[in-house]
Amino acid sequence: MITEIDASLLEKIADLTGKPVGAFNIRKDSGCEARQSTEHIAIDPQPEGKSGIIIRIKDGTKGEQCHIPVIISKSGVTEMVYNDFYVGENCDVDIVAGCGIHNSGCNESRHDGVHTFYVSKNSHVRYVEKHYGEGDGEGSRVMNPTTIVYLDEGASIQMETVQIRGIDSTVRKTKIVCGKDAEAVITERLLTHGKQHAESDMEIELNGEDARGRVISRSVAQDESKQIFHPVVVGNSKCFGHVQCDSIIMGKATIESIPAITANSTDAQLIHEAAIGKIAGDQLLKLQTLGLTEEEAEDTILKGFLA
């Protein structure tokens, strides 16, 4: 049964209001709350003894969405979930994931998930994953997602990861392996506050000729929170890779950014950039002259930066 709290979480992490259209699997408190397959997208449970689902998308599927959100509304729930995606050839689909935790108790609530994608020739996947936590309890809200992607010839993935608020601890691991003429684009947006801790390890392997990879990371660290980024692009052939990390640091927060590029081919073109700084005083002053308070001006700048 979807409660008012559940509905609020689903709207925040997956923009869902009411029953989703198309294929979907809603996981709640370590169980399946609702599931629906379609003619072109089949969702089945993992074999007995393994938690999670298997999603199979038929060749030529285009213009369809698949929602697979996870919500936890009980304190003390911990789970390890495996989701496998098999995307056929010549597809163009959107997969909307995300995890929301409402913890009003004193025990840790935790979701660990491993998502593995096998994307066939000339297919495009847009994958969106939002994380959000709330609740007035003392129990922590923990999420540790791992995403592994294999891109066949001409395949591509556009991956958007967002941590909105309220996650006390997260370790995110992402690895994408690109074949010939494949493309991977990762866009990460992250906000930490209080004493939260966030780590993000990314690796894109550009193995095939003319493969392309791009990492764009934007983050804000407030109060006493800590962030660690380690994006890596490895060029093993004629390829192009770009890593860009921009962060705003506030209060007593700490940010460690360690971008890395490795070229194992003379035809690899790789670039990395990293910048950490505070909000510019002239930006605040300009907005304040327009009638905003300092707090409102700061909030406006942060929203624009993370947009």
Q: What is the pLDDT of residues 136-164, one digit of tens each?
A: 989 999 999 999 999 999 999 999 999 98
Query: What band does 287 get if pLDDT is binned at 50, 70 and 90?
Result: confident
Report whether pLDDT(281) > 80.
no
Q: Which residues pair with 133 in a beta bridge?
A: 101
pLDDT at 78 over 80: yes
Instruction: Give the pLDDT score at 293.
Output: 87
Please report, rounded to a whole number, the percentage of residues in the chain having pLDDT higher than 90: 85
156 pairs with which residues across the strands?
A: 124, 183
Q: What would the pLDDT profile of 215-247 be if each residue is shown by its tens digit? A: 999 999 999 999 999 999 999 999 999 999 999
- Choose the weakest-confidence range: 141-155, 184-198, 290-304: 290-304
Is the per-residue pLDDT at 288 higher than 90? no
Band of the pLDDT at 283, cuts 50, 70, 90? confident
Token pair listed for 180? 């010939």
Q: Quick one: pLDDT at residue 48?
A: 86
89, 60 Cβ separation under 8 angstroms: yes
pLDDT of residue 105: 95
Local confidence band at 75 (pLDDT 50, 70, 90 cut-offs) = very high
Q: Kindly state the average pLDDT of the residues 34-45.
A: 97
pTM: 0.93
- 68 closest CA partner among 23, 110, 112, 38: 23
Q: So what's the pLDDT on residue 208?
A: 97
- Amino acid sitting at position 16: L
Task: Tell me the C-alpha distance between 100 and 9, whole Å.
Answer: 6
Distance of alpha carbon 129 from alpha carbon 12, whole angstroms: 11
Sign, CA torsion 38/158/187/45 = positive
Q: Tokens 């001006």 identify what position? A: 297
- Which of these, 59, 244, 233, 261, lies nearest to 152 by C-alpha position? 59
**Mean of per-residue pLDDT scores for the chain:** 94
Tokens of 90: 């010549």
Give the model's pLDDT for residue 297: 85
Q: pLDDT tens digits, residue range 9-32?
A: 999 999 998 888 899 999 999 999
Q: What is the mean pLDDT of residues 71-78?
A: 96
Q: What integer pLDDT is reported at residue 181 of this predicted model?
A: 98
Residues 6+ apart with CB under 8 A from 307: none
- Count other Cβ atoms within 10 Å, centred on residue 155: 28
Tell me what pLDDT residue 130 has.
Answer: 95
**For residue 49, what pLDDT is reported?**
83
Per-residue model confidence (pLDDT) at position 19: 82
